Amino acid sequence: MKLIFIYGAPASGKLTIAKEISKVTGYKIFHNHLTLDFLDEIFGENKKGFWEAVDEIRLTVFEKAARSKIKGLIFTYGSINHNNFEFLKKVIERIEKYKGKVCLVNTKCSEKELLKRIKSKSRKEYNKLKNSKELRKILLTWDFETKIPSKKTLEIDTEVLSPKRAAQKIIKYYKLK
């Protein structure tokens, strides 16, 4: 199985690109907000155990998909940095255990463009960030540029490439057809 792991800032085009890749490859999309929204309903204001549960569910899904020999899965994620390298390491271990491959993609976009994009109506569908002030805070707090040590990462400038062109580039680079 190939796991296309797309990470980047809010509104950088991760899900839109994932949808384009899915159209061509038939890979299913495991959208970041699926686990967040699901577990938020359970944990609500009491976040004790929330992130641990999020990681456990995601890792279980990845492992079951890899073990089932699913051709491919596309996962969207936010920030990769030293705080969550351990999660990514576990993802890679679970996929590679079943002879799979994790294909890393980092989406990039200027802050000016991100601020325009978060106003899009399509962001309401998945309860995504829509607040400019909150986006600025997130961009100052989180690192969306970190390179994963010893792993190749394809960088996609979503301000330059359309979602369709970005998907084509990813498909070609990781030989997904």
Please count the residues of the chain: 177
Q: By three-state DSSP, how is residue 61 classified?
A: helix
Residue 67: which domain range? 2-173
**Residues 6 or more apart whose Cβ sits within 8 Å of residue 6:** 14, 17, 18, 74, 75, 76, 77, 105, 106, 107
Q: Average pLDDT over the chain, rounded to whole?
A: 88
Torsion of CA 7, 13, 18, 23, to 10 degrees: -160
How high is the mean pLDDT in each 10-residue block of the chain (177 residues)? 94 94 97 86 81 92 95 90 78 95 94 84 67 83 77 94 97 94
Query: What integer pLDDT is reported at residue 142 of this predicted model?
Result: 80
How far, in Å, CA of 80 to CA of 61, rounded? 19
Amino acid at 84: N
Query: What integer pLDDT is reported at residue 7 of this predicted model?
Result: 92
CATH number at residue 14: 3.40.50.300
Q: Using the 8-state DSSP alphabet, how is residue 44 labeled? A: T
How far, in Å, CA of 87 to CA of 161, rounded? 29
Domain total in the chain: 1
Query: What integer pLDDT is reported at residue 79 of this predicted model?
Result: 75
Q: Which residues pair with 73 in a beta bridge?
A: 3, 28
pLDDT in tens, 112-149: 998 888 877 666 666 676 778 888 888 888 878 777 77
